[in-house]
Structure 1
Amino acid sequence: MPIDSTSNRVFLGMTYFFYFGQLGIFMPYVGLFLDDRGFSSAQIGTLLAITALFRMLGPNLWANKADKNGTAGEVLRFGSLLAFLAFLAVFVVQGYWLLTLTFCIMMLFWTAVLPQLEVITLSATATSRGGYGKLRLWGSVGFIVCSLLAGSLIDIYGPSVVAVTTSISLLFIYLSSLLIVNPKVKEHSTQASGGDYKQVMSLVFIVFLLANTLLQVSFGTYYNFFALYMSDLQYTGFQTGIFIAIGVVAEIFIFIYAATLVKRFNVLHLLALSIFLTALRWFGLAYFAHIGAVIVLSQVLHAFSFALSHVASVYFLTQHFSDKFQSRAQAIYLSVTFGLGSAIGSFTAGYVWNDGVGASLSFILSGSVAFIAGLLLVILIVYKAFIKNKVV
C-alpha cells in the first residue's frame, strides 16, 4: 500500500486525534488531578518539570533508530504501547516521588510518537492537496472532543477521572497506529550528511531553537495552572473545557490554511508574529482574566501561539534539513523546545504561582518571556536581510 494512500491518511488522522485528545485531557487538567492528590503548586510545578526533562531524552533515542532503519511506524507503535502500560501505574502509586517516576517513564516512551508521526505525515501528504495542515487538524478535533468530555466528567466524578480518561486515550493511540504504513526509505538515505550536522550548529537554527524554547517556557503557566486559574475564578470544569475548545477550534482554521500561509510568507516571519501574539495573550490573562470576553479572545490567539508557530516550525525544519535527517531534526526541535522549555516553564510557574497568590505575576512573566523570544527572531530576520543585501 503506498504511503500517500487514502487509507493510510485515515489512520494517521485517527492517531493525531487520539494523541492530541490525550493532551486535551492531560495538559489542561493534570494540575487539578495533582492538586486533588494533595500536592502544592510548587510540588506540581517540580513534578511536571522533571517529567518534561524526559521529553529531552526520548525523542533523540527513538529518532536515531527511525532514521537509520526506516522504521518510523514501528517506533511509533512501540512507544505508544509502552507509554500506555507505564501510565497504568498511576492507579496504584500514591507517593509524590513514585508518581513522578510513573510520569517520567510514561513520558520517555510517549516521546517516541510525535516525531515519527510528523515525519510519516509529511511524507504521506507531500503530493496531496492541502498538505500537512489538513491532516494535522484532526489532532485539534481530538483535543476539543476529549477536553470537553474530560471537563464534563470532572464536574461529575471529580479530578480523579483524569487518570482514567488519559489511560484510555493512550491505549487508542496505540490501536490507531497499528495500520499506519512506513514511508518508503530512499536509496542511500540512511546516513545523514555532514551538512546536516553543520546546519544544527548554524546561527539560524540556534536562534530558532532558542525562540521556540522561550515560547514553551512562557506556556508553563497556562499548561499547568489554567484550569486551576479558571476554578479560582469560579468557572466550572465544563466552562473551562469550552474555553479550551475555543482555542482549538481557532487553531483548526490555521491548519486548514497552513499550506497556503507557508507558501506565501517566510516561515520565520510567521513564527515571530505568532510569538508576539502569544505575549499579548498572556498579558491579557494576567490583567483581565475576570472578563469572560478577554478569556475567549486569548483562546482565539491559541491559533497563533500554538498552531501557526508549530506549523511554521515544522516547515522550517523541512527547509533547513535534508530528507535523511528529518526524524532527528524533529527530535531535536521537540526535545529541546518542548522538553527543556516545558521543564523550565513548569518549574518556574510552580513557584511563582504560589497556590494562586502569584497568578497574575506568573502570566506577566510568561508574557515577558514570549516577547523576548519574538524580539530574538526579529533581530535574526533583520540580520539575515542585512547580510543578504551586503553580499549582493
Structure 2
Amino acid sequence: MARFLGSLLIAPRVSDPSRLIAALRVLALLTLLFALAFWAGSHVAWLLAIIIGFNLFFSPLVPLTDALANTWQKQITMDYGRVRLWGSIAFVIGSALTGKLVSLFDYRAILLMLSLGIASMLLGMLLKPSVMPQGESRQQQGAGMAAWLTLVRQSWRFLACVCLLQGAHAAYYGFSAIYWQQAGYSASAVGYLWSLGVVAEVVIFALSKKVFRRFSARDLLLLSAVCGLIRWGLMGWTTALPGLILAQILHCGTFTVCHLAAMRYIAARQGSEVIRLQAVYSAVAMGGSIAIMTVFAGFLYQHLHQGVFWVMALLTLPAMAIRPKAVAA
C-alpha cells in the first residue's frame, strides 16, 4: 500500500520535468535514511514504521526515473532500451551476490547490500548530467482532480490493457517456483529458469530500438498479448524442460515488450502529463494490478493448481481488444 501511495501521490507533485533530478536526489536521500534505520532496531513497531517510510519514498523513484528517461528521449534521442537493460543486469548481479553473502554470513548481508546500493544510487544522482532535462510546468487549469479525471478518460484503454498484461504475471511471480519444484525441478534449476527470463529481457532491451523501430505502442501491446497467450498457456500445459525454456524466453515478450509499449505511449505525452501518467502506470499497472491478481492467483492455484496459468492466458484476450486505438509511434 505504501508503494502504491508513494507512486500515485508523491511522483505527480513534480510538475516540471526540469525539476526531476532535484526531486530524485531528495527521494534517494530519504530512502537511504530509512534504509539505514533498519540497523537501529528490530522491534515490530519500529520495523513496520521503517518499511512504510522506505516504500513510500522509494516507490516514486521508479516512475520519476522513467519520466526522466522519457524527457531525455525527446531532447537527445536517448535509446531507452539500452539504458534500461542495465537495471536488469544489476538485478541479476545483485540477487546472486546477496544470496551468496547471506549463505556465508546472515541476514545482515541483505541490509548491507540494500544500504550500499541506495547510497551508490544517491551518489550517481548527485552527478551533474551533461544535458539537463527541460520542460514547462503545468498551468493552473492542469492541476487538481480535473487533470486526473481527464488523464484517466483519455488513457483508460492503455491503463486497462497494461494492467491485464502485467497483472497476468502474478501467478508466475508468486507460484511458478513452487509449481516447478513440485514437478521435480531442483531449486537451482528453477533459479536458472528465472535467470533465462532476465537474459531474454536484457537482449530485447538492447535491441529494442532497432527491432521495434517501426512499431507503434498499439502494435507492441498486441505482440505482448500474443506472447502472453502462448507463454501462460505453455506453463499451464506442460512442465517439460523444452516448454519451460520457451516460456521463459517469452518473458521478453510478456514483460519487456509491454513495458516498452508503455514507455512509448507515455513518451508521446507532453510536459507534466508524462510524469502524471508515468506515476499512474507505476502505481496501478506495475504495483496494484499485480498485488490484486496475486491474491486471486493464490486462491486459483489452491483449487486449480497449474490451471491458474490458463486463467492468466485468458487475461490477454480482453487486453488485445481494449488496446488504445490511436497512439503515437
Q: Give the TM-score normalised by structure 2.
A: 0.81
Structure 2, unaligned stretches of length 5 or more? Answer: none
Taking the aligned partners of 2:116 and 2:180, their CA distance within structure 1 comes to 26
Equivalent of 1:112 in 32, 51, 60: 60
Is residue 73 of structure 1 aligned with residue 24 of structure 2? no
Within the candidate set 170, 176, 192, 1:242 is matched to 192
- 2:304 paired with 1:375: no
Task: Determine the structure 2 residue equivalent to 1:208.
Answer: 158
Question: Matched residue of 2:134: which SS?
Answer: coil
Cα gap change, 1:149 to 1:295, in 2 (>3 Å) = farther
* Aligned equivalents of 1:220, 1:133: Cα separation in 2: 24
Q: 1:273 aligns with which of 223, 234, 239?
A: 223
User: Would the aligned equivalents of 1:318 and 1:326 in 2 still touch at CA under 8 Å?
Assistant: yes
1:243-392 alignment runs, 5 A limit: 243-289=193-239, 291-319=240-268, 321-354=269-302, 359-377=305-323, 381=325
Q: Provide, for residues 139-186 of structure 1, a one-character-per-residue CA deviation record: whole Å limited to 9, x for no partner.
A: 121122223334555666788865654454334333332215483434
**86-95 vs 358-367, greater mean Cα deviation:** 86-95
Number of equivalent positions? 322
Structure 1-normalised TM-score? 0.70
Give the distance between the partners of 1:212 and 1:171, measured in 2 at CA: 32
Give the superposition deviation at 1:270.
Answer: 1.0
Any stretches of 5+ residues in structure 1 without a counterpart? Answer: 1-52, 386-392
1:188-218 per-residue CA deviation (whole Å, 9 max, x = no partner) reads 5443775976751445x10110111122321
The whole-number CA distance in structure 1 between the counterparts of 2:231 and 2:17 is 42
Displacement, 1:114?
Answer: 1.5
Q: For 1:288, give the aligned amino acid.
A: T
Residues 130 and 318 (structure 1), Cα distance of their counterparts in 2 relative to 1, 3 Å cut: closer
Contact 2:85 2:205 in 1 (8 A): yes
CA 1:150–1:283 in structure 2 vs 1: closer, same or farther (change >3 Å)?
A: farther
2:169 matches 1:219: yes
Q: 2:117 aligns with which of 154, 165, 169?
A: 169
Over 3 Å counting, the alpha-carbon distance change for 1:76 and 1:272 in structure 2 is: same
Q: Quick one: structure 1 residues 81 and 293, their matched pair in 2 at CA, closer, same or farther if it must change by over 3 Å?
A: farther
Residues 240-272 of structure 1, C-alpha deviations (whole Å, 9 max, x = no match): 332222112212222223224553122112112
Provide Cα deviations, 1:72-130, integer angstroms capped at 9, x if missing partner: 112222323333443456675475x8766654432211112122211222333445566
The one-character-per-residue Cα deviations of 1:285-343 (angstroms, maximum 9, x if unpaired) are 22323x22222211111111111111111111121x21342211211211121232122
Deviates more, 1:325-334 or 1:147-156: 147-156
SS in 2 for 1:330: helix
Contact 1:220 1:342 in 2 (8 A): yes
**Is the 1:155–1:238 contact (alpha carbons within 8 Å) kept by the matching residues of 2?**
no
Preserved CA contact (<8 Å) 2:236 2:306: yes
CA distance, structure 2, for counterparts of residue 271 and residue 192 of structure 1: 34
1:46 counterpart residue number? none
Kindly report the root-mean-square deviation, in angstroms, between the aligned alpha carbons of the 2 structures. Answer: 3.4
Moved more, 257-266 or 104-113: 257-266
Find the residue that maps to 2:132 and give its secondary structure: coil
